[in-house]
Amino acid sequence: MDELPIHSGDDVVRVRQRVRTVAAQNGLSLVDQTKLVTAASELARNTLVHGGGGVARIESVKSANGRAGVKLHFSDEGPGIADIDLALTDRWTTGTGLGLGLSGSRRLVDEFELNSKPGAGTSVMVVKWSR
Ligand SMILES: Nc1ncnc2c1ncn2[C@@H]1O[C@H](COP(=O)(O)OP(=O)(O)OP(=O)(O)O)[C@@H](O)[C@H]1O
Ligand SMILES: [Mg+2]
């Protein structure tokens, strides 16, 4: 498992690169690699911009039936999210973005779990399986 800090735009680039490498190592197709890297990019950017920085964990995983995959975990100790359903709505944003980062990421991966509480930070876990 890799643990990468997210405190700058350069860190986001490093997360993207590492996710691409691990996705390729686990046999994800080029299209699926790009989907996962795109999701990772959005989630890492949220960690940086909304969460005030945090950490990314990148892990190779195996499903019960032996399928390889990549699990990503992004966590921060920022302000958290008051209404998670709203945050996952297309085009909803508290900032100046398009509000498509979370909702778009969810569509690009196979598993998506968002945990957050106001004042208690945010944690997002995603998995993409090879097929
Ligand atoms: N790690 C986080 N900590 C706190 N709030 C967050 C976090 N991630 C997302 N949010 C909240 O959820 C909203 C929606 O996030 P989303 O990524 O979909 O849109 P955005 O970041 O505002 O715009 P963009 O389309 O550029 O990503 C954000 O505006 C922010 O209020
Ligand atoms: Mg975003």
Is the C-beta atom of 54 inside 6 A of ligand 1?
no
Span 46-65, average pLDDT: 97
Q: What are the distances in angstroms from CA 129 to CA 24, 30, 66, 83, 123?
A: 11, 13, 10, 29, 20
What is the whole-number distance in angstroms between the Cα of residue 88 and the centre of ligand 2?
A: 10
Q: Quote the percentage of the chain above a pLDDT of 90.
A: 98
Is the C-beta atom of 56 inside 6 A of ligand 1?
no
Q: At 59, is the pLDDT very low, low, confident or very high (cuts 50, 70, 90)?
A: very high
Mutation probe of ligand 1 site: the residue of 38, 46, 49, 75 with most atoms within 8 A of C-beta: 46
Averaged confidence pLDDT in the chain: 97
What is the structure's pLDDT at 69?
A: 98
What is the structure's pLDDT at 47?
A: 98
Quote the DSSP letter at residue 130. -
Which atom of ligand 1 is nearest to 104's Cα? 18
**pLDDT tens readout for residues 99-126:** 999 999 999 999 999 999 999 999 999 9
| Count of other CB atoms within 10 angstroms of residue 37 | 21
- Where do the domains of the chain lie, and which CATH numbers do they carry? 2-129 (3.30.565.10)
Span 15-35, average pLDDT: 98
pTM over 0.95: yes
What is the structure's pLDDT at 94?
A: 93
